[in-house]
Amino acid sequence: MDAEQLRENAHKMVDFIADYYKNIENFPVLSQVEPGYLRTLLPDSAPNHPESLQDVLDDFQAKILPGVTHWQSPDYFAYFPSNSSIAGFLGEMLSAGINMVGFSWITSPAATELEMIVLDWLAKVIKLPDDFLSTGQGGGVIQGTASEAVLVVLLAARDKVLRRVGKNALGKLVVYSSDQTHSALQKACQIGGIHPENCRVLKTDSSTEYALSPELLNEAISHDIAIGLIPFFLCATVGTTSSTAVDPLLGLGKITKSNGIWLHVDAAYAGSACICPEFRHYIDGVEEADSFNMNAHKWFLTNFDCSALWVKDRGALIQSLSTNPEFLKNKASQGNMVVDYKDWQIPLGRRFRSLKLWMVLRLYGLENLQSYIRNHIELAKHFEELVSQDPRFKVVTPRKFSLVCFRLLPPHSNEECANKLNHDLLDTVNSTGRIFISHTVLSGNYILRFAVGAPLTEERHINAAWKVIQEEATALLRTL
């Protein structure tokens, strides 16, 4: 690494990226390429001799960029957001610059200690109970994704209960969730060896706004205990992926507590909103949770990846995930004086991800971060009002955060026709390249999802997006 070469090239790269952001509204938000497009554009093998940065950037512009879907575009409204920011970007840059691998405290003491401190800061910002702080038996750790977070806590909970009831009982362990829980839990169960028949997916419907009913959970647990099974894990969600439903943690927590079940709270998207006092009530009851997760890389201005996981009993994680090979032994670890995050996660190696979260918290401050969340929620409210004013459309579930679920009503109320109509509307809207929205299915109905959350989105983008949707709907309705 030649410092002067780095300076010259990195300046060019920053200019290139800044220009990308300047022009971001000119690209089709959803990439319009066909599968396999890139193989015809790039050579079959890697070059033998070095090429210039300019040549690579030219190729990026001409060949790669058309195959990029622009998640940071102000016209991006699909799935959930995945924010970037100047602070998050600079934090990533610093981390890439230092490029250390902080699996044990000794491999870079600052990486471990900053992660502990920053996750304590964030836990205090969202008012998690003190049991989740690293100053006690718990603590926070940055995972790559919410999927990894739920996997590691599922393994910890599984092993904790097996230590009590005996290893042979694995086939009797039961996991609970709702039919709105993210598929990350299913994957965790597959990896964790939970018998597929012991994964209880409890039904939700519009009567609870797609939230999990404590009564249903209670019934399922009683039934499982009666037939000799062992309930051990509930994944509750605050802000479900389809419609941002909020499972009632207070009611669910009482049940998990009295049955000795590990309660994991997946607040991957909506956890960020809880930094605002007016939205904190959505996680009331988190006091009874054993683990809590939010993706700072979704809606907290922290570049991907950064998924914050807190546990109350870090010993449970460590007992499941620790290894102690000779080549990693050192005085600090052997003396039990430090946290070694390798024992809180699946991989050994880990990046200095706390830097970007630290920079986001310091460069923006809580007040600005709260305004940022509130602004998106106001913009979503504005979109919801626009939809409500057009009698051809219907808002399907009450909006809680910055996601609006809505659908176009068919001229004759025929469900099959309505599903096809909305499917077609999604396709035509996205193929304009002007905006990108996504869909879900609730109670058998095909629903359109409009998620506000790109940092550059302003009211004018919401108005323009609604115009695109209206125009495409008008054209589609004319064909019926």
| Residues 254-274 as b or e (16 or more Cβ within 10 Å = b) | ebbeebebbbbbbbbbbbbbb
The span from the CA of 181 to the CA of 161, in Å, is 23
Our CB check for ligand PLP shows the closer of 126 and 473 to be 126
Strands 403-408 and 445-451: antiparallel
Q: Which of 75, 224, 266, 472 binds ligand PLP (CB under 6 A)?
A: 266
Instruction: List residues bridging with 404 in a β-sheet.
Output: 450
Residue 440 binding ligand PLP, by CB under 6 A: no
Size of site (CB under 6 A) for ligand PLP: 15
Q: Which of 85, 241, 345, 457 binds ligand PLP (CB under 6 A)?
A: 241
Our CB check for ligand PLP shows the closer of 29 and 268 to be 268
Residue 146 binding ligand PLP, by CB under 6 A: yes
Our CB check for ligand PLP shows the closer of 241 and 354 to be 241
Binding piece for ligand PLP, criterion CB under 6 A, among 235-243, 251-259, 401-409, 429-437? 235-243
The span from the CA of 235 to the CA of 237, in Å, is 7
Shortest reach from residue 289's CB to ligand PLP, in Å: 15
Residue 80 binding ligand PLP, by CB under 6 A: yes
What's the burial of 251, exposed, middle or buried (CB within 10 Å: 0-12/13-18/19+)?
Answer: middle
Per CB under 6 A, contacts with ligand PLP among 288-327 are 295, 307
Shortest reach from residue 153's CB to ligand PLP, in Å: 13
Following CA atoms 133, 138, 141, 147 in sequence, which dihedral angle do they give, to the nearest 10 degrees? -120
The span from the CA of 318 to the CA of 338, in Å, is 13
Q: Which of 95, 237, 430, 457 binds ligand PLP (CB under 6 A)?
A: 237
SS3 220: helix
Binding piece for ligand PLP, criterion CB under 6 A, among 85-93, 261-269, 367-375, 405-413? 261-269
Shortest reach from residue 397's CB to ligand PLP, in Å: 15
What's the burial of 245, exposed, middle or buried (CB within 10 Å: 0-12/13-18/19+)?
Answer: buried
Distances (CA, A) of 462 to 252, 293, 328, 403, 435: 37, 30, 53, 13, 10
Residue 184 binding ligand PLP, by CB under 6 A: yes
Our CB check for ligand PLP shows the closer of 172 and 264 to be 264
Our CB check for ligand PLP shows the closer of 118 and 267 to be 267
Shortest reach from residue 187's CB to ligand PLP, in Å: 9
Q: Which of 83, 85, 147, 402 binds ligand PLP (CB under 6 A)?
A: 147
Residue 269 binding ligand PLP, by CB under 6 A: yes
Shortest reach from residue 180's CB to ligand PLP, in Å: 9
Our CB check for ligand PLP shows the closer of 270 and 386 to be 270
The span from the CA of 284 to the CA of 238, in Å, is 10
Strands 291-295 and 173-178: unpaired
Binding mask 25-64 for ligand PLP (x = CB under 6 A): ----------------------------------------
Shortest reach from residue 227's CB to ligand PLP, in Å: 30
Per CB under 6 A, contacts with ligand PLP among 352-411 are none
Our CB check for ligand PLP shows the closer of 267 and 387 to be 267
Helices and strands (H and E) in the chain: how many = 14, 11
How many CB atoms are closer than 10 A to CB 47?
8
Shortest reach from residue 292's CB to ligand PLP, in Å: 12
The span from the CA of 416 to the CA of 418, in Å, is 5
CA nearest to 422, candidates 398, 388, 444, 447:
447
Our CB check for ligand PLP shows the closer of 285 and 410 to be 285
Our CB check for ligand PLP shows the closer of 182 and 434 to be 182
* DSSP, residue by residue, 65-124: GGG---TTSTTB-SSS-----HHHHHHHHHHHHH----SSGGG-HHHHHHHHHHHHHHHH
Our CB check for ligand PLP shows the closer of 161 and 405 to be 405
Q: Which of 70, 158, 172, 182 binds ligand PLP (CB under 6 A)?
A: 182
Long-range pairs for 314-318: beta carbons < 8 A, 24 or more residues apart: 314/137, 314/138, 314/139, 314/339, 314/344, 315/137, 316/156, 316/157, 316/159, 316/160, 317/141, 317/152, 317/153, 317/156, 317/343, 317/344, 318/343, 318/344
Our CB check for ligand PLP shows the closer of 81 and 410 to be 81
Q: What are the residues binding ligand PLP (CB under 6 A)?
A: 80, 145-147, 182, 184, 237, 239-241, 266, 268-269, 295, 307
